[in-house]
Amino acid sequence: MVCKILKKTAIDINPMSSNRCRGIRRRHRHNCSVIKAAAAAASSIVLTRIGFNKGFKFIQKRQTREGQPESELTKERRPLPPLTSPEKRTVFLDLDETLVHSVTGPPPKKFDFVVRPKIRGKIMTFYVVKRPGVDEFLEKLGNKYEVVVFTAGLREYATLVLDRLDRKRVISHRLYRDTCTEINGRFVKDLSGLGRDLSRLVIVDDNPNAYCFQPENAVPILPFVDDVADRELRRVLEFFEDEETRSCDDIRDAVRRFVGYHESITSSSDDDDGDDDGDGLELELELMDATCKLPVLIVSSKAREITSRRKFQPFGIPVLEFRTRMVVMFCLFLLLLHVMCFRRASVYTFF
């Protein structure tokens, strides 16, 4: 009897314990019903448990412009930040063979600086040569345009080169290989998704495959290796400093006039040359890129430089390669040996 009385007394002493359990269960059922209703109403809600018997926290997934979750869409490239000066136009510049030239082998006779990036866990040494007039080109271009360097090089390498090249910080943005569009192992620089109007931008690049998506926005430039007398940047700077280029509504019209003007000058100078072989080479080569299936216009001067290497000399002794010379000498040796053996034994021949 004492135990029953004590047990009953203990229950009666704390009458709130049973009410507290009922309240917890009631709240839990209420939370579960709210969760089920919310999940049925919106499929883009994430439920996260924030504690024991404390309910759930509702987290809304980030929605895209189509109203679908970000994970279900393909990742799009992030556009550039808005222009600080809306009246400025944008110039995209290539890095290698356009502004600088770098080698990894033995150091050349003349180089401007050295960078040692860590690529795939290995430290590599690059000897960098600046193109003649690059400092003046960047400084004058940065005063009137938004300058963006768009390179297909690795970020680890290009960052160190640009830090040494852009001492006055005239380059507004830097785009690397991860921003390019890879097509069959080739990196194409697509300018359509970068947040800039195509009628107000120009790309300067030595590789026609890089701008095959927007060839009408491209100002081609000859690749630079180690020519001290190179004047390509000065020629391009004249185009950007021209008042017609800065005042036209669509800069692609100015690009078309500039490229056509220089092609006509080059064609007239080649017609006056006496070294032409009269085969009627075209002044412009229109090539079809195998990767993007779009026509790519190459500057006529560069096209002639490529085709001029295939010209043959009409007179003179032909110059044979090393392997060809060795084959000819070996055949002459066998012929001489055959003649000697035929004289000694007139019946038995060598072969």
Distance in angstroms (rounded) separating the CA atoms of residues 207 and 349: 61
Distance in angstroms (rounded) separating the CA atoms of residues 160 and 175: 13
Say yes or no: 103 and 243 in one domain.
yes
Say yes or no: 40 and 151 in one domain.
no
Phi, psi of 31, rounded to the nearest 5 degrees: -65, -40
Say yes or no: 245 and 205 in one domain.
yes
Q: What is the pLDDT of residues 90-128, one digit of tens each?
A: 999 999 999 999 999 889 999 999 999 999 999 999 999
Say yes or no: 321 and 185 in one domain.
no
Q: Collect all residues with Cβ–Cβ distance below 8 Å to 182 and sequence separation of at least 6.
A: 188
Q: Given this model, what pLDDT does residue 61 score?
A: 39
Please identify every residue annotated as catalytic: 94, 96
Instruction: Output the domain CATH number for residue 170.
Output: 3.40.50.1000
Q: Given this model, what pLDDT does residue 111 score?
A: 94
Say yes or no: 67 and 97 in one domain.
no
Say yes or no: 59 and 123 in one domain.
no
Distance in angstroms (rounded) separating the CA atoms of residues 225 and 109: 13
In degrees, rounded to 5, the angle at the alpha carbon of residue 252 between the alpha carbons of residues 250 and 255 is 130
Q: Which two tokens stand for residue 117?
A: 């990036």
Say yes or no: 134 and 159 in one domain.
yes
Q: What is the pLDDT of residues 118-155, one digit of tens each?
A: 999 999 999 999 999 999 999 999 999 999 999 999 99
Residues of the chain with pLDDT under 50: 1-13, 42-75, 274-317, 347, 349-351
Q: Collect all residues with Cβ–Cβ distance below 8 Å to 200 and sequence separation of at least 6.
A: 89, 90, 251
Say yes or no: 51 and 103 in one domain.
no
Q: Which two tokens stand for residue 36?
A: 């089920």
Say yes or no: 57 and 170 in one domain.
no
Q: Given this model, what pLDDT does residue 28 score?
A: 63
Q: Collect all residues with Cβ–Cβ distance below 8 Å to 316 and sequence separation of at least 6.
A: none
**Considering the domain boundaries, does residue 188 fall inside one?**
yes
Domains contained in the chain, number? 3
Q: Given this model, what pLDDT does residue 78 score?
A: 75
List the one residue out of 157, 188, 150 whose CA is nearest residue 171: 150
**Considering the domain boundaries, does residue 7 fall inside one?**
no
Domain span including residue 60: 16-72
Is residue 263 within 8 Å of residue 303, measured between CB atoms?
no
DSSP secondary structure, 86-128, as one string: TT-EEEEE--BTTTEEEE-SS--S--SEEE--EETTEE--EEE
Q: Given this model, what pLDDT does residue 255 score?
A: 95
Distance in angstroms (rounded) separating the CA atoms of residues 162 and 330: 55
**Considering the domain boundaries, does residue 151 fall inside one?**
yes
List the one residue out of 109, 189, 197 whose CA is nearest residue 152: 189
Say yes or no: 205 and 266 in one domain.
yes
Is residue 117 within 8 Å of residue 156, measured between CB atoms?
yes
**Considering the domain boundaries, does residue 63 fall inside one?**
yes
Say yes or no: 203 and 331 in one domain.
no
**Considering the domain boundaries, does residue 121 fall inside one?**
yes
**Considering the domain boundaries, does residue 30 fall inside one?**
yes
**Considering the domain boundaries, does residue 246 fall inside one?**
yes
Largest CA distance in the chain: 142
Say yes or no: 207 and 343 in one domain.
no
